[in-house]
Amino acid sequence: MRSIDAADEAQLFATIDRWVEREVAPRVKEFDHADRWPAEIVEQMKELGLFGATVSPEYGGLGLPAATYAEIVMRISSVWMAITGIFNSHLMLALAIEKFGTEPQKRQWLPKLATGEIRGGLALTEPDAGTDLQALRMTARRDRGDYVINGTKTWISNGIEGHCFALLVKTNPEASPRYSGMSLFIAPKGPGFKVGRKLEKLGYKSIDSGELIFEDYRIPADHLIGEVEGRGFTQVAGGLELGRINVAARGVGIAEGALRLASTYAQMRKTFGKPIAEHQAIALKIGEMATRARAARLLTLDAAKAFDRGERCDMEAGMAKFFASEAALENSTESMRIHGAYGYSKEYDIERLYRDAPLTCIGEGTNEMQRLIIARQYMRRNGT
């Protein structure tokens, strides 16, 4: 990923801030409460280049460093986290192709992904395989020049509105260890690829989460990413570091947004003749919220900068994802309490942040899994 000078970065952030203020904030309740696909906002994100944010300029993208990309996600998520999922899941598909694909695969797919002409995502989770990806059952059988795929994926972001997915399957179900029999395919919608039901969610509205059903779905062998079987698990693991940095950035955005809403409300709302911000109980909450949000931001940027340096950063990304998501959950809860009864009303934005925050503790690997990753990596790096 290329570097970006301070002036260009500042201009980019200013553009994002104006867009969020003018186009996103006034309409977020409309889309979120109706759980409606934000088609107009998606078109604007295409114009802003967000679908090619981390794709190399060679293939038509912006080629942004992870730290710059994380900052963009933070700024958008402080107002509406869900729409960052529309382009982040898509960018995981693009990253898999750019990092592990053949040059013909890159030339064929990345330019259209970068513009958003083709949009998609990452299809990993199955009904019985979430955190434990090695338990997946979807198979791909070689048939001369094609592969024939059967199975079901679930909880796939962009599953209904998307066009193409990075699909993790087993090409050798008997392989030992299990991960060595897994492969990753570029899977565009077509015959044999059906979209099941849209899954209803507590929060994270407007972005579609769906079931994908494959029944004798046939694709050419050149859709195997890298065109070598058995590398899928490693290819997916390589993208999860950036995915976890993105989820951490979402958590930072929610934590900072909740803090901002609480601070604004606490300075306006009065009890016993003075703003509630001047009451010690509220001031203590805001002090803790500000500290959590700041710590989450610094951990996330630390992980993003390590990623940009090309270093292994599964521990750093895990720390950022774990802490920032918990900060989002705690800050949104405390902000709702500061709002009192109004925080429980759909007229106030805090209820949306409160509903969106729990997903960050689950997505891209549960926080229980993150703590195990952190512990293992810390001991490896600091073993005697």
Give the residue numbers annotated as catalytic, written as ranges: 364
Task: Give the list of residues 6+ apart from residue 46 with CB closer than 8 angstroms, or none.
Answer: 115, 116
Please tell me the number of Cα atoms within 13 Å of 362 on its side-chain side: 9
Q: CA 262, CA 271: separation in Å to the nearest integer?
A: 15
Query: Residue 329's closest CA among 363, 369, 283?
Result: 363
SS3 80: coil
Q: Give me the helix-helix angle, 66-77 and 232-268, nearest 10°.
A: 40
The pair of structure tokens assigned to 105 is: 């695969």
Give burial (CB, 10 Å; 0-12/13-18/19+) of 40.
Answer: exposed
Structure tokens at 364: 């891209």
Dihedral sign, Cα of residue 234, residue 361, residue 283, residue 340: positive
